[in-house]
Structure formats: structure tokens, C-alpha cells
Structure 1
Amino acid sequence: MPDPKPAPASRRWLWYLLLTALLLVSAATYGTWRILWQPNVAVSPYGAAYLYIRTGTGYAAVLDSLRRHELLRDMRTFEWLAERRGYPRLVHPGRYRLSPTLGNQDLLDMLLAGRQDTLAFTLDAFKYKPQLTRQISRQLEADSAELRRLLNNNAFLTQRYQLDTTTVLTLFLPGPYRLFWNTSARQFLDSAAATHRRFWTTKRQQRADSLGLSPTQVHVLASIVQRETAMKEDKPIIAGVYLNRLRRGMRLQADPTLLWAIGNFGVKRVLNKDKLVDSPYNTYKHKGLPPGPITSANRQSLDAVLKPAAHQYVFFCARPDGSGYSDFAETYADHKRNASRYQQRLDSLGIKR
């Protein structure tokens, strides 16, 4: 059988050209895929990675943050594509969640659209404005100095929220919030006001009206109830005690208001000298409610005031067993006996203050 004829040189060159073209196309396709779609976010051992872009900063700050925190596997491909898509001129502030599956194309789609992740946090109860500003500045970009200025701007608070620098603390309900990280101080206040409005349903407003209290007064009284006890069962009873006192024209004589006035909530034993403090929050001296809340009242305390227990008690004091519950009394004689047992308990523990 004769040997097959070798392929002509022109045909071999054609195959070489086709193979070379195929390799070039494959290389170009791979290069394009690597730049656009290959996952480029570094895997973090601490869970999800986040890119924070502060308001007013630009492209250079974004690159600096990506480098310092080692958020990307390949900075060069990101920069190459970012410049061609015009990102340096369209930087949006915010907190962006970087999934390990993101390639440069999807990452830039997110950044260019400003699709930032929301931040969930819990607002803890606070007693003084500086405690609020510290909490918020730890969670959000909101400028603490600006928030402090707004909280002390009477004209702004009256016009926008119908509150003043004393009653503004009634605006804040402790609990969960979900906001954008780059929320400003004013936006945070507006968000708190929206949460406040949602809490004050028509039904709750009607309950406040039936008690002869405004929503602000409910917040103030609830703040006292909240400082008096952590026991859910006792809250409506204590609310009823204070409402009975208000109806009878008695002074509230609430120890927590004294502690707020002297700035020391660590006191276990209120002394007679504490009752002499010169403050509108001294409810041993002044009748009625204090001018503002002594803590940010939570929903449970507010509802305890709106649904108080019906009774004739006008006195109460902590039980001597350390349970956290209170003993209640209708007469001063019974109250003195309850208070004496509690004082003996403090003596036995060596608590003098």
C-alpha cells in the first residue's frame, strides 16, 4: 500500500493560523473573564467584608481603603475597569457588603448604583444626651458634634418635632433600628421621629387622653417607672401609684429623679441630703412631673403607663429579699413598716450609699 502524501505546506500553515487564532481568542476570552467576572474579593476569616466610603471622599480614598484592608485579590484589574467605567467621577458614600463571589464588573455595578447595605443596630436606653451621641457615633457616620448641636437647638426642635431641648429625649425609643451607615445627624433624628410616630397609634393616643396625659408626659412618667423596676409585673402597679399621687395632688417623691439630678444612678441608698438638691427634677420638692424624662423609656414601660393597674396604693418600696419586686401600701403606716424592713436589709449588707 503506498504511503499517504504529506499535506501541502499551505494547508499546514492554515492549521497553524487557525490554532494560533483559537489560542489568541481563548487568551482574550480568559483575560476578559478575569478582568470582568473572576471573583476578586478577598475571603475574610471574620465573615462578611465591608467597604466604608465616607461622605465627601473620592476615588483615591476608595482605593486607599481597599488596599489598607486588603479587600481585593487584584487591585490592578479593578482600577483598570473602574477608570474605563467612569467610577472615579461617580463615587457614592455608604457601607457596601463585599461578597467573595463578586467580580470587578458586579462590584462596580454596585458601587456606581450606590447599592449599599443597611446597618442593623440596637439603641440602648440612655439617661443623658452625651450617651446618645456616643452610641450613634459608634454605629453611624453621623457627626456627633452636629447631633449634639441639633439636640441643643431649641428653635430647630420646636419647629421640626414640636419638642424642646428638655423633652427631645422623649423622641427616642430604645430597640432595633435599621439605617444606612452614612445617615446624617438630621436624618437619624427624622428616623427616630418616624419610629416615634409609628408607636403612637390612635389607640395609644386615646389611652393617653383618657389619663389626662400628653404623649410627652407619658414618656416622662414611663421613664420614672423604668428606673424604678425591671419587673414587668410591677410596672403597671408602680405606674398606678404615681398616677394616684398625681390625681391626689401629692408629690411623686421618686428617688430616680433625685439620682438623675445628682448625676449618680449607682446610689443604692437615698439620703435626706439628696432630697435637698436644687433641681426641677427633685420630685420631693416640686409637685407634678419633672420637666423631662430621666431615661429613654422603652415600649414596655410606656405601655405600663398607658395601661396602669387600678388600685388605691400611693406608696411602694423595694422588697428586702432582693428579688427586684416591690411592696405596695395604701397608708403611710404600712409603708413605714415596709421601708423599715428594706432599710434593715441594706444595713445587714453594709450598704451606706
Structure 2
Amino acid sequence: MTEPLPFEPSSLPAAPRPRRVGLAVAVVVLGLLTLGAGLVWNFLYRPNVPATVEGPAYLYIRRGVGLSAVLDSLRRPELLARPGDFARVARWWGFGTPAHPVQPGRYTLSAGLGNLALLRLLESGRQDTLAFTLKPFHYLPQLPRQAGRQLSLDTAQLHRLLTDNAYLMRRYGLDTATVRTLFIPGTLRLFWPTPAAAFLDSVAARHRRFWNPRRLAEADSLKMSPVQVAVLASIVQRETAQPTDKPLIAGVYLNRLRRGQPLQADPTLLWPLHGLGTRKRVLNVDKKVDSPYNTYRHKGLPPGPITTPYPQALDAVLRPVHHNFVFFCARPDGSGFSDFSETFAQHKAFARRFQHHLDSLKIKR
């Protein structure tokens, strides 16, 4: 005998229609997928580098650093709008691991970059160059300090290379005294992390570009090598800042060289005393210093430059004003110009006038 049901069939709720259930599930799934896609898009592609009124920002990554150091740099104000989002994506990506190593360099953070694009940029190592300004320097130890302020460079290694006579001769045909002629002040385009040897090679490449066939021919017409031109140009540069006086002073020194006279250039006396850039005047006692740079005691050019001459000073020696002057003296008006003379008597008259001006200044003080 069949057991009676505990309820009447008519009391059961109507079963839902399968079509409506499937539609509801599809809507929920679609919503979840849309939400997930939106989150993924936000994390990967939503712009994270804001625009600034100063222009593009730069991220500097030193050699040997890991993800933590990169993230610390990116937390600086105005580099990223949401540094936390980038950190999550970077860790998910595995940035900083052997499979995705950190590449050193200076990177331009263009406005509108998303996290994924930024990661791909940093991982690729596609850094940009910067304008390195090489300024004149008098002594070799000054160069590594100057380069280290603008570049990520091993300054100790650069110093070792500059003092390695065998390396300099083999690589550039110069020694520790003449290597300073390799450096022509101006702007070079370099990568921010630059090895010391690559830095010197870049400097040498600029030197080769400067010494084109025309300038080499001009040096040859003076019976001088590029090194000799640079040594004399370094003296001319220290004697005056007036562009029009440079070729005139170059002509004076060339006349002395042709006549076999000592150059008697005051700036060369200060170089071995490490007084260039710190002392304004030369004393009589300085003329007694026993040094190959003492052009009062030794004829001809000193063994190396006393500073790194600008292209204008080099060209002043290559294209001097032809005259018969063998003396010059600074004018007492403080203009920076000089008075030129052919005879010692004329020169003494100019020198007395200049000394009288100095004496009057002392009295006023």
C-alpha cells in the first residue's frame, strides 16, 4: 500500500523556469567579469604618471639596487599618482628577480604611463641620455669630482685610469701630463650610469670631432701638434676672458716662441703651486720655483696644459692675429683688455700705469 505524502502536491511552490535561472547567473557572471576586467585595467593600464608643469619627471636607478630601492624612489612626490598600485603590479610581475632584473639608468617618466608600460620600460633598460656639461678644470683630481656630480660613475676607477700612464699611452697616445688636452669643455650626451672607461672614450670622440682636417692643417702651418696648441691655448685662456684679445695674446706668445724667448707667462707659475683658481696675483718669489711649468726659467711650452681650454681659446691659437708685439699688460680700467707693445720700454710704461692704478686702490681702502 502506498504511503500517503506528508503534503498535498498542490501546496508545493511552482518550480522556477530554467531559462530565468540561466539568465540571472549569466548576468552575475558578466558583472563579475566586468568588475574584474575593470580592476585589472586599473592596475595595469590606468595612467599612473601625472602631468607636471615642469615637464617630464625622471627616475634614477643606480647599479646594484633592487625593487625596494626603486619603489622608494617612486614614492617621491609627483612621480606616481598611486605608488602603491605600481608596487603591487611590480611584485606580481616579479620585477627585481633574475627573470625580470632591475636595469640601472635615468628613465623619462612621460605623463600618462600606466603601471605595465612603466614596468616594461624599466625592464627594457631603454634609458635616455642626459646633457653632461664638461667644465674647465686645472688639476686631474678635479675631474672625477665634477663627473661624479652629474653621472653615476665610479670616480675611483676614473682616477685610476687618469693616473695609469701605460693605459693612457696605449689608448689615447697621451701621458698623465698631456691627457688634460683630451678634454674640451662643452656638452656631451651620455648615459647617466657611465663606466669610467666609456666616459673617457666619449671625451676622446668629441676631441676627434673637434680636430677636423681644417684645424689639423692650421696646427701644421704653425708647426705645432694638437697637444702643443692645447697647452698654449690653456695659457691664453688664463690670461684673458676677452674674446677679441685672445688671438692677440696668442700672437704674442707665438712671437716669443719663434724668437726663442721664454714665454714668461704668469699663470704657469701658479699651476705647480696649486694656486690656479685660488690666487689672483703672482709674486716675484713665485718666479724662483723650480718647476718645468716655470716659463720664466724654462724656454718653450710647459709639459702640459694648466687648464682645459675652451674651443674659442684653441681657435685663437690656431688663428692668431699676426703682429710684432712681444709684450702685453692689463689695462688699469678693469675692462679685462690689454695694451700691447713691441718694445720693452713701451711695456714698462704700460706696466707703471697699471701699478699706479693698483697703488691708488690700496690707498682708497
TM norm. shorter chain > 0.5: yes
Amino acid at match of 1:344: H
Work out whether 1:152 is the aligned partner of 2:157: no
Q: Which residue of 1 is the match for residue 21 of structure 2?
A: 13
Offset, 1:44: 6.4
Partner in structure 2 of residue 38 of structure 1: 46
Bigger drift between 110-119 and 42-51 goes to 42-51
Match 1:332 to one of 336, 344, 351: 344
Query: What is the TM-score normalised by the length of structure 2?
Result: 0.88
Residue in 2 that maps onto 1:288: 300
Say what the alpha-carbon RMSD is for the aligned residues: 2.1
Q: Residue type of the partner of 1:109?
A: R
Aligned-pair CA distance for 1:77: 3.7
Residue in 1 aligned with 2:89?
81
Give me the whole-angstrom Cα distance separating, in 2, the residues matched to 1:243 and 1:56.
52
User: What is the rounded CA distance, in whole Å, between the counterparts of 1:308 and 1:246 in structure 2?
Assistant: 14
Q: Which amino acid is 1:61 matched to?
A: A
Q: Within 5 Å, which residues of 2 pair with 1:99-110?
A: 99-110=110-121
Q: How far apart are residue 208 of structure 1 and its match? A: 0.5
Among 61, 75, 81, which residue is 2:69 paired with?
A: 61
Cα displacement (A) at 1:275: 0.8
Q: Return the match for 2:286 from 258, 270, 274.
A: 274
Percent of matched pairs sharing the same residue: 60
**Residue equivalent to 2:32:** 24
TM-score with structure 1 setting the length:
0.91
Distance, in Å, in 1 between the alignment partners of 2:175 and 2:202 is 18
Q: How do 1:194-273 and structure 2 match up within 5 A? A: 194-265=205-276, 266-273=278-285
The CA distance in 1 between the partners of 2:279 and 2:118, in whole Å, is: 54
Question: What is the CA-CA distance between 1:72 and the residue it aligns to?
Answer: 3.6
Letter of the 1:293 counterpart: P
Task: Please list every run of 5 or more consecutive structure 1 residues that lacks an aligned counterpart in the other structure.
Answer: 1-7
The AA in structure 1 aligned to 2:41 is W
Give distance in 2, aligned partners of 1:86 and 1:215: 53
C-alpha offsets along residues 230-262 of structure 1, whole Å, 9 cap, x if unaligned? 111111110010000000000000011112122
CA distance in 2, matches of 1:105, 1:24: 23
1:125 corresponding residue in structure 2: 136
Query: Partner residue of 2:183?
Result: 172
Residue type matched to 1:82 in 2?
A
Q: Distance in 2 between matches of 1:172 and 1:83?
A: 45
The amino acid of 2:307's aligned partner reads: T
Query: How far has the Cα of 1:42 moved from its partner?
Result: 5.8
Q: Cα distance 1:168–1:69, how it changes in 2: closer, same or farther (>3 A)?
A: farther
SS in 2 for 1:261: coil
What CA deviation, in whole Å up to 9, does each residue of 1:157-192 have, x standing for no partner? 110011111111111111112110000111111100
Which protein is bigger by CA-based radius of gyration? 2
For 1:136-174, what per-residue CA distance to the aligned partner results, in whole angstroms no more than 9, with x for missing partners?
000011111111111111011110011111111111111
**Aligned counterpart, 1:3:** none
* Residue aligning to 2:326: 314
TM superposition shift of 1:52: 1.9
Cα distance, 1:80 vs. partner? 4.2
